[in-house]
Amino acid sequence: MYTSRITGLGYFVPENIVTNEDLSKLMDTNDEWIQERTGIKERRWIEEGSNETSASMGVKASKIAIERAGLSKDDIDFIVFATLSPDMYFPGCGVQIQEMLDMQTVGALDVRNQCSGFIYALSVADQFIKTGMYKNILVIGSEYHSGGLDVTTRGRGVSVIFGDGAGAAVLSRSEDSSRGILSTHLHSEGKHARELTVESPSIAHWVPELLNNPDDISYFPYMNGTFVFKNAVVRFSEVIMEGLQANNLSVDEIDMLIPHQANLRISQFVQKKFKLRDDQVYNNIQKYGNTTAASIIIALSEAWEEGKVKEGDLVVLAAFGSGFTWASAVIRW
């Protein structure tokens, strides 16, 4: 059986910076209130009138990742695209990537697992490579949140959190079992699905209903923040330990933990619980907000660019979010 290694990384975020002060002009909020609850200082939002989308941002991140992997678009055998904000209800963004990059007619798969979407996508790609079916797989996480947020006081509890952006990784086949993705661990608990959700549009609740009822908020994200937080800190810890134990590793051996950037307070809670130093945990939610399926891959790309992820390092990725779903990946870089 083969091993899969991350051979190329890239990310893209819109140039438009939206600060907490900017949001205070749209809703009843302020910088202190937002930072105290989330740790976020600013986020990137696609500018109104721009042609940027989840797919187009994914393309820009992908081009960087493919180049850094030393490959061309024709070397890619398969595409896995993770997002909760596709350009169209269907088809998914994966096929748009194939078209936009002018690739061969490779397969394309979309993953709809929200905050844990990138790790789920990474796990899918890992299995395809381990079994020998594919050699190089492009894995993307991309989100265009800002166009679907309630930027009024009514929606401030959620809308201040999210940002736009994309990241991409190239997974390649390796015969060196001592390096690469050691294991991935995936979980779900659907009974809590409505605690963090966007209910519409759906086949049961279609767009014309919104036009008839402007007060219908089912088209905006809903989050039971306290409940999500309490579950997140438990599941984060569980799935990190699951990954370590599966590989006979200890917390002390972690060189870099990259958690999904949902809330800085969650990351700090987990860091404190595992007694990790600041240099062992990478956070960038302060400047990008929560980019959902893109957050881990953007953070991993940045950490690598800054020299904080080095050859031989033990890197742990962990995520928790809507579904509820949660996941981890243990990687020997």
Distance CA 60, CA 13 (A): 9
261, 285 Cβ separation under 8 angstroms: yes
Q: Is the pLDDT of residue 323 over 90?
A: no
pLDDT in tens, 41-51: 999 999 999 99
Tokens encoding 267: 């990351």
Distance CA 88, CA 128 (A): 26
DSSP 245: H
> Domain extents for the chain?
3-174, 180-332
Q: Is the pLDDT of residue 119 over 90?
A: yes
Which has more confidence, 43 or 212? Answer: 43
Catalytic residue among 20, 231, 283, 290: 290
Per-residue b or e along 262-298, where b marks 16 or more CB atoms closer than 10 Å to that residue's CB? bbbbbbbbbbeebebeeebbbbbbeebbbbbbbbbbb
Q: Is the pLDDT of residue 214 over 80?
A: no
pLDDT in tens, 140-195: 999 999 999 999 999 999 999 999 999 999 999 999 988 999 999 999 999 998 98
Question: Is 93 a residue of the active site?
Answer: no
How much is the average pLDDT of 274-279?
96
Beta bridge partners of 176: none
User: CATH assignment of 180-332?
Assistant: 3.40.47.10
58-72, 93-107, 212-226: lowest mean pLDDT where?
A: 212-226
Give Cα 266 distance to the centre of its chain: 16
Tokens encoding 283: 């956070």
Q: Is the pLDDT of residue 27 over 90?
A: yes
Catalytic residue among 20, 113, 145, 260: 260
Q: Is the pLDDT of residue 13 over 90?
A: yes
Distance CA 330, CA 333 (A): 10
Q: Is the pLDDT of residue 212 over 90?
A: no
318, 260 Cβ separation under 8 angstroms: yes
Distance CA 1, CA 175 (A): 8
pLDDT in tens, 219-265: 677 878 888 888 888 998 999 999 999 999 999 999 999 999 999 99
3-state DSSP call for residue 65?
Answer: helix
Question: Is 260 a residue of the active site?
Answer: yes
Query: Is 3-174's fold the same as 180-332's?
Result: yes
Closest CA to 95 of 135, 52, 59: 59
Give Cα 29 distance to the centre of its chain: 26
Distance CA 69, CA 71 (A): 5
**281 vs 8, 143, 255, 309, 319, CA distance in Å?**
21, 23, 8, 11, 14
Query: Looking at domain 3-174, does it have CATH number 3.40.50.1000?
Result: no
Distance CA 281, CA 299 (A): 10
Q: Which amino acid, residue 87?
A: D
Give Cα 42 distance to the centre of its chain: 18
Question: Is 145 a residue of the active site?
Answer: no
Give Cα 172 distance to the centre of its chain: 20
Contacts for 284 with CB less than 8 Å, ≥ 6 apart:
261, 298, 299, 302
Distance CA 254, CA 250 (A): 7
Distance CA 45, CA 15 (A): 8
Q: Please give the model's pTM, rounded to 2 decimal places.
A: 0.93
Catalytic residue among 20, 113, 115, 136: 115
Alpha helices in 88-182 (DSSP H): 93-100, 117-130, 156-159
The pLDDT of residue 232 = 87
Q: What is the rounded average pLDDT for all residues in the chain?
A: 94
3-state DSSP call for residue 5?
Answer: strand
Distance CA 99, CA 222 (A): 33
Contacts for 36 with CB less than 8 Å, ≥ 6 apart:
none
